[in-house]
Structure 1
Amino acid sequence: MTLVTRFAAAAIMVVAAVGGASAKEWKTVRIGTEGAYPPFNYVENNELKGFDIDIAKALCAKMKVECTFVAQDWDGIIPALLAGKYDAIAASMSITDERKKQIDFSKKYYKTPATFAVQKDSKITDTSPAALKGKVLGAQGSTIHSNYLEDVYAKAGAEVKLYGKQDEANLDLANGRLDAILADKVVLLEWLDSKDGACCKFTGAEYTDPKYFGEGVGVGIRKDDADLVAMFNKAIDEILADGTYKTINAKYFPFSVY
């Protein structure tokens, strides 16, 4: 599914050299996103919406380029970027050392902690690896949260189940097939405040260890496109400076996610 949003009647030519290579002429920038991670990116009335989408639109406006948005399943989002399906990823992708082996990133455009959710009648309050030994824990696969569960909690004796989408993990928790799920706190807050999430609650600590959870969320870009990284970085600085970021943030959250 491809969804298009147009932002400029004219495009600019980037003529500076970045990292010793000639910059490309960026008239359009194709942006990949998941479309299944509310409130950051989701599909409503056949249109991509959410914080990631609004931020990407604002960045494209600053760069004076035409933006095309492409919905892509999370598991294939980096391979599709590398294959040239789109030029950048704006999909709440955390900047981690492991991902930086494959792609480059802009500077961060938000950072939020991870936390656990459990059913409301759960007695789990201690979410340390030792305390969750023998428990069944869930997360969306190929994420910083699944990596953390597999590397830390599975080795401590927990059973880890992974899902293609966050909603699938949420559903299994609600139906009692999981003892707890680990996810981004803001994403879980959106669900817990909904009718479907009325079953459940936050518990335990917040997790921000950069080794697993990275430096924040950035725009993912191919390593060959250093000029595009520079363009996004400049645009991020501009929306932070002129109040655009604050306006978008306030549309979704009662607190700063930067």
Structure 2
Amino acid sequence: MRKSAMWVGAAVVVALLAGCGSDADESAAPSSSDNPLNAMLPDAIRASGRLNVGNSPVYPPMSYLPEGTEDKEKRQGFDVDLARAIGDKLGVKVTLVTQEYEQYIPSLATGRIDLVHSAMQDLESRRETVDFVDYYTTGPQLFGLADKVGGFSTEADVCGQKVAVDSGDTGYRNALSEFSKNVCAAAGKPAIQELTTNGTADALLQLEQGRADVGIRGAESIRYVVNEQSPGKYALIGKPIAEIPVGIAVSKKQNELRDAVAAALKALMEDGSYAKLGEKWGLSDILRPAVTINGQSAG
């Protein structure tokens, strides 16, 4: 990964107030006086003092609801903490807005939200309409039921097996296809059989019912499931099979906002706040060493 750089944009954002018929919660806004990062924001957002941030509390430890509550205002996780820390640096309130995941990028285009900060993978296909301020690196991690993974001592042992993967998870499906081609086929082993599922809960059910031999999920999340959520039930298989940057999504028309968010993240890296949040959530090993845009330095 390359060293970070500052980016200068010239677009003006028209930010709408929170609500839009979806669930939202806010963080308190610090004072914006004499704040050079606040001055980088588009005029409309600086005037409103608010950032509307798309975030789905369904993916621990990035963003999730504590057990026993459905109150989205009580969401917690690394994404939640980092979004609010960025808001603090920028001197604005952060309103977390929950929508269907597929609606986030269209909502950026229409201005219903300003950012998506919800473990969104920075994929080439998405860069056609949004830019990503990358903030951690995910690794598609193979796993299975703890009492059935004895035959999979390495990732290559999964060749020929049925792997449950979310139908909407383009990045992990691509990684699984590349792994099957580059590892399995290259070694003369049978190809991986992809079993598409409707979300993580369905994938886990397919494992439990024996329809899938193995599952694949982001290392940051499956480690939480293995160690915190369901200890002893699942086990990891080898190491992640790829590296995929994860970013805060910003409309390509909002360069000023993108640059302000990148500068705020850079400031959090420099003052140690970013590292402290990574340590708090057990994610220190997947943090980025420098701010990047769309997976690489801009200059």
Cα distance in 2 for partners of 1:97, 1:28 equals: 29
Asked whether the equivalents of residues 95 and 217 of structure 1 are also in contact (C-alpha less than 8 Å), the reply is yes
User: Structure 1: 5+ residue runs without aligned partners?
Assistant: 18-22
State the TM-score, normalized to the length of structure 2.
Answer: 0.73
Counterpart AA for 1:138:
A
Q: How does 1:1-258 map to 2 (within 5 A)?
A: 1-8=22-29, 23-26=42-45, 27-44=49-66, 45=69, 46=71, 47-106=74-133, 108-120=134-146, 121-122=148-149, 123-128=151-156, 131-133=158-160, 135-143=161-169, 144-150=171-177, 153=180, 157-194=191-228, 196=230, 198-209=232-243, 213=244, 216-253=245-282, 255-258=284-287
Is the partner of 1:137 in helix, strand or coil? strand
Asked whether the equivalents of residues 29 and 93 of structure 2 are also in contact (C-alpha less than 8 Å), the reply is yes
Is the partner of 1:172 in helix, strand or coil? helix
Residues 64, 163 of structure 1: CA spacing in aligned structure 2 closer, same or farther, 3 A cutoff? farther
For residue 183 of structure 1, report the CA deviation from its aligned partner.
Answer: 1.4
Asked whether the equivalents of residues 7 and 64 of structure 1 are also in contact (C-alpha less than 8 Å), the reply is no
Q: Which has the bigger relative contact order, CA under 8 A and spacing at least 6?
A: 2
Asked whether the equivalents of residues 162 and 192 of structure 2 are also in contact (C-alpha less than 8 Å), the reply is yes
Cα distance in 2 for partners of 1:58, 1:118 equals: 35
Residues 36, 131 of structure 1: CA spacing in aligned structure 2 closer, same or farther, 3 A cutoff? closer
Bigger shift: residues 148-157 or 3-12: 148-157
State the TM-score, normalized to the length of structure 1.
Answer: 0.83
Counterpart AA for 2:233:
C
Asked whether the equivalents of residues 175 and 241 of structure 2 are also in contact (C-alpha less than 8 Å), the reply is no
Q: Which has the larger radius of gyration?
A: 2
Q: What does the per-residue CA deviation read over 1:224-251, in whole Å, with 9 as the maximum and x for residues that have no partner?
A: 1111101101100111111211221121
For residue 149 of structure 1, report the CA deviation from its aligned partner.
Answer: 2.8
Cα distance in 1 for partners of 2:253, 2:197 equals: 32
For residue 93 of structure 1, report the CA deviation from its aligned partner.
Answer: 1.4
Q: How many residues align?
A: 245
Counterpart AA for 1:115:
Q
Asked whether the equivalents of residues 239 and 245 of structure 1 are also in contact (C-alpha less than 8 Å), the reply is yes
Is the partner of 2:120 in helix, strand or coil? coil
Question: What's the % identity of the aligned pairs?
Answer: 19
Asked whether the equivalents of residues 116 and 183 of structure 1 are also in contact (C-alpha less than 8 Å), the reply is yes
Cα distance in 1 for partners of 2:28, 2:77 equals: 17
Q: Which has the higher helix share?
A: 2
Cα distance in 1 for partners of 2:286, 2:29 equals: 28
Asked whether the equivalents of residues 35 and 72 of structure 1 are also in contact (C-alpha less than 8 Å), the reply is no
Asked whether the equivalents of residues 139 and 218 of structure 2 are also in contact (C-alpha less than 8 Å), the reply is yes
Counterpart AA for 1:4:
D
Cα distance in 1 for partners of 2:231, 2:166 equals: 16
Cα distance in 2 for partners of 1:243, 1:72 equals: 31
Is the partner of 2:237 in helix, strand or coil? strand
Cα distance in 2 for partners of 1:85, 1:219 equals: 16
Bigger shift: residues 189-198 or 111-120: 189-198
